[in-house]
Amino acid sequence: MNPMAPMLPAPAPMAAGPTEPVVVVGPQYCAPYVVPLTVTKKSISLTDGDFTVTDANDNVVLKVKGTLFSIRHRRVLHDGAGQPLLSMQEKILSMHNRWEVYRGDSAHSCDKLFTVKKSSMLQLMKTEMDIFLAGNTAEQVCDFKIKGSYFDRSSAFYLGKSNTIIAQMNRKHTAASVVLGRDVFSITVFPQVDYVFIAALVAILDDVHRDRKE
């Protein structure tokens, strides 16, 4: 894990959000201000929908790469320098699109950070996902939740089952997205929220949406 996270530019302050820091990957990824990120995803990619995450100054802060020709879906989230931060693996034959996320490029249980799965098996137009931290082995009450429509690239990320929003995602229309055949959407990460954690959730949402289309 890179001990020094990139210094993201500070935009205008934004109200609401969690009262305590939301740290999952590391405190260095929690800024005291709103972090606006842009995700650019290629429509056609030999590595299964790689996408790049940039900050407000168009600096690349994160990259997600996956494996196309594999029975088990796996994605790795890297920092801007190419160092692996998280490894995301889909559980084989999972009824709820269950994903397990590990620190770095690991797949060992001691490095497991959290699990993501669908709240229910039957989901058509809407998407609802539950997130359980590694210590929440009972998985009776989720630690975080995602609600919205990934098809419309419109989703909100919540703290547990509360109404406290920690991040939002929306489609972003640009001329380049039309001409170059790319999917572009924006993420607003609230103050003191781990933006690497949010980016990993977006990567998993992207894969769940791809499975639904297929």
Q: Name the amino acid, one letter, at 123.
A: Q
Work out the average pLDDT over 108-136: 86
The span from the CA of 138 to the CA of 130, in Å, is 13
Per-residue model confidence as pLDDT tens digits over 167-211: 999 887 655 544 444 678 899 999 999 999 999 999 888 877 765
Q: For each of the domains in the chain, give its residue range(s) and CATH number, in order of start.
A: 27-213 (2.40.160.200)
Residue 58, burial from CB neighbour count under 10 angstroms (0-12, 13-18, 19+): exposed
Q: What is the pLDDT of residue 72?
A: 57
Q: What is the pLDDT of residue 12?
A: 43
DSSP the chain: --SS-------S----S-SS-B-SS-GGGB-SS-EEEEEEEESS-TTSS-EEEE-TT--EEEEEEE-SS-SS-EEEEEETTS-EEEEEEEPTT-TT--EEEEETT---GGGEEEEEEESSS--SS-EEEEEEETT--S-SS-SEEEEEETTTTEEEEEETTSS-EEEEEEE---HHHHHTTEEEEEEEEPTTBBHHHHHHHHHHHHHHHHHHH-
DSSP 124-137: SS-EEEEEEETT--
pLDDT greater than 90 at residue 16? no
**Is the model more confident about 140 or about 69?**
140
pLDDT greater than 70 at residue 115? yes
- Residues in the chain, how many? 214
Phi and psi, residue 169, nearest 5°: -130, 135
Work out the average pLDDT over 59-76: 76
Q: What is the pLDDT of residue 151?
A: 66
